A and B are shown apart, each in its own frame.
Chain A
Amino acid sequence: MSAVAVDQQAPRRNPLVAALAFAKRHVLTVYSLLFFAYLLLPIGVVVVFSFNHPSGKFNYVWQGFTWNNWIHWDGVPGIRSAIVLSLEVALIASVVATALGTLIALALVRYSFRTRAATNILIFLPLSTPEIVLGASLLTLFLNLSFVTFGLWTILIAHIMFCISFAVVTVKARLVGFDRHLEEAAMDLGANEWTTFHKVTLPLIAPAILAALLLCFAISIDDFVVTYFNSGNRVTFPLFVWGAARIGAPPQVNVIGTAIFVVALTAMLVNVLLQARRSKGAA
């Protein structure tokens, strides 16, 4: 490429000129690194301020280092129950939504049926509807059904609803590139449909199912808007943060935020490294 030619005609050694020449040649790289710095800046703030020792209500200005917030991570009334509820909801919602979504994905990729186009639209619509409309419409439904009491069940119904489409899309992507001959071979060798499914199909799409589970879990545990409309007086972790923000969020909020970040990042890093190793092994 022509960048090589530019490289060779830079004989002068003035450091300023050299730095400018470097910046000019690598302008895209420099820009991208700045972009990443911008992207990661708020994350850094969240982590750093989880160690702050605030003097007043507001955790805005750096006052001094302390481990206290981490040791007493549940030292704020209500934070522990909020985290427990969020984990509970995310666990149940991601399992149910992934199960329902996997079945839909199997039907969409494997079979031809008349309502296929309509099904695709129904899967796509929740993804392209603003969250506030999802939350508001579900609230209207529950308000009109007098037997509904808001709480764990209404939160779960809402989370499963908006997770299903994500699960379908994730599993479908994997199924499309799937070699059907493997299943046909199993059937030819005398396996029935069920045996074929759990001995051949399931192991092959397991990574996609795991990915869908993780995605649904992450979306559920982070959701604020839809939950806000349908939680009654139950408080999930994002709702706790919202309430705390009005009077000044305590540093414990940063502690939990950092913990969630580290867990999610580690899970993804392991995934990326495993993929890299697998593709290296295949090459």
Chain B
Amino acid sequence: MGFFHRHRGLTPYLLLAPGILWLAVFFVVPLGFLAYQSLETGNIDFGYAFNWAWGNYSTAIRQYRPQFIRSLEYAGIATLLALVFGYPVAYWIAFRGGRWKNLLLLGIVAPFFVTYLIRTLAWQSILSDNGFVVRTLHQLHLLGSDGRLLNTSVAVVAGITYNFLPFMVLPLYVSLEQIDGRMIEAAEDLYASKLHAFLRVTLPLSLPGVVAGTLLTFIPAAGDFINAQLLGSPNNHMIGNVIQSKFLELTDYPAAAAMSFILMAAILVAVMVYARLVGTEQLTGTAV
């Protein structure tokens, strides 16, 4: 221990070293390799050569524009649905949960205890052509007699929404739970209607949870390919499906690497635009 006393300044670096080294070598360095690979040309038989092939990026966007747009679209809709459906439940647990709060939260994360692929396969069987959902919709004439759910965009978006819902509800709950109930009472004492108190007090105070939940849902959703693969048809494939097959089936590494970076950039832009929107809204919300 004498060593630590003589070199106190070193201690934090020694504590950090093993974990940070692991992340540097197996997270940061690989991203560098991916960037390098995305600017190469060639194929697996004759090898790849680095030649600043920016064309990989423009080709990827040109060829797979529908899949890129679809990824952001599906992820965006799923995030919105998760927010709209999840908010009331987070509110209910936070304000009406009482001593059952922890148990109810356990219910929210319960789907995570079933393997991701297995719960998606369960949706596959629920939405299948002879499942009870489709049969009921047929009987109610809400779906044409040859209409189906499986292999449609509806099924893919529903699957994504379901799979990432807990990521939305948990941060919403955390921010709602922290709200001081007296703030809402104060608003009501000052003759705000229930709706008004909610819109002017509760909702703005829960915005951090909305932002966190939205990001936690949107980012993994945009990169997902499992829901599109198991619940959709090739017409519903997202960019994750393309990246996956380019890497693992077609061994077109440079194109796949370029697409990975475009996906990251697209997510980054979407997140920044969103931060802008929420930021200004929050400002106007408190200013009024």
Contact = CB atoms under 8 A, between A and B. Distances in A.
Interface stretch (A8-16, A64-72, A259-267): A259-267
Nearest to B31: A137
A132 B118 contact: no
B85 interface: yes
Given A42-B114, A61-B130, A241-B115, A160 B88 contact: no
B64 interface: no
Contact of A161 (B1, B9, B27): B27
A207 interface: no
Interface in B79-133: 85, 88-89, 91-93, 96, 99, 102-104, 106-119, 121-123, 125-126, 128, 130-131
Interface string A90-110: 000000000011011011001
Given A60-B130, A136-B247, A269-B106, A100 B122 contact: no
Interface string A232-252: 000001100110010001000
A182 interface: no
Nearest to B8: A111
A101 B114 contact: no
A122 interface: yes
B27 A125 contact: yes
A63 interface: no
B115 A222 contact: yes
B130 to A, nearest CB: 6
A122 B23 contact: yes
Nearest to B2: A192
A126 B28 CA distance: 9
A23 interface: no
B33 A137 contact: yes
Contacts of A192: 1
The A interface is mostly helix, strand or loop, or mixed, namely helix
A104 B13 CA distance: 9
A38 B122 CA distance: 12
B230 interface: yes
Contacts of B12: 107, 110-113
Contact of A136 (B89, B112, B215, B260): B260
A129 B96 CA distance: 35
A268 B243 contact: no
Contact of A164 (B23, B121, B126): B23
Nearest to A257: B118
A134 B28 CA distance: 10
B26 A138 contact: yes
Contact of A140 (B34, B92, B267): B34
Contacts of B99: 276
Interface residues of B, number: 81
A94 to B, nearest CB: 14
A32 interface: yes
Given A45-B125, A140-B33, A238-B117, A39 B107 contact: yes
Contact of B30 (A36, A141, A164): A141
A133 interface: yes
B49 interface: no
B219 interface: yes
B113 A264 contact: yes
Contacts of A160: 22, 26
A101 B19 contact: yes
Given A46-B114, A104-B16, A126-B23, A140 B230 contact: no
Given A45-B125, A254-B118, A272 B103 contact: yes
Contacts of B109: 268
Nearest to B123: A42
B126 to A, nearest CB: 6
Contacts of A35: 85, 88-89
Contacts of A130: 219-220, 222-224, 240, 263-264, 267
A90 to B, nearest CB: 12
A158 B26 CA distance: 7
Contacts of B85: 35
A275 B102 contact: yes
Contacts of B226: 224-225
10 contacts: A28-B88, A39-B108, A60-B130, A101-B19, A132-B243, A133-B34, A161-B22, A218-B112, A222-B116, A257-B114
